[in-house]
Amino acid sequence: MCTSCGAPSQGAARCPPCAEKSYHGSAHFRGWPVYPPSYTVVLIETDEPIATFDDEMEVAAYLAFEKLDRDKVEVIVDRSPIQSMTGWE
């Protein structure tokens, strides 16, 4: 018997309609995943990417270590489309 509605479920915990409803409400079925952004440092003079990082602090440390002026580089943030639409990320 189905644990949700009590219908016959042929030995499974839930009948097919309740199992599908449960799957669609779970964390496995939430649309586009939100991946962490990546940061690319580009030298403005040559328009060439120098390095790519996973964190803003790594970018700041790299710029300080390499003694690069913030006016000479551009930091491009590669964010997923869904993350740019949300306000809490």
The residue range of the domain holding 22 is 1-30
**pLDDT at residue 44 in the model:** 93
Q: Are residues 42 and 75 in the same domain?
A: yes
CB-count exposure of residue 34 (10 Å: 0-12, 13-18, 19+): middle
**pLDDT at residue 23 in the model:** 81
Q: Are residues 18 and 49 in the same domain?
A: no
Q: Are residues 42 and 10 in the same domain?
A: no
Q: Which stretches of the chain drop beneath a pLDDT of 50?
A: 89
**pLDDT at residue 30 in the model:** 65
Count of the separate structural domains present in the chain? 2
Q: Are residues 78 and 43 in the same domain?
A: yes
Nearest to residue 70, comparing CAs of 41, 40, 37?
41
- The widest CA-to-CA distance across the chain, in whole angstroms, is 70
53 within 8 A of 38, measured Cβ to Cβ: yes
**pLDDT at residue 89 in the model:** 45
Q: Are residues 68 and 45 in the same domain?
A: yes
Q: Are residues 46 and 70 in the same domain?
A: yes
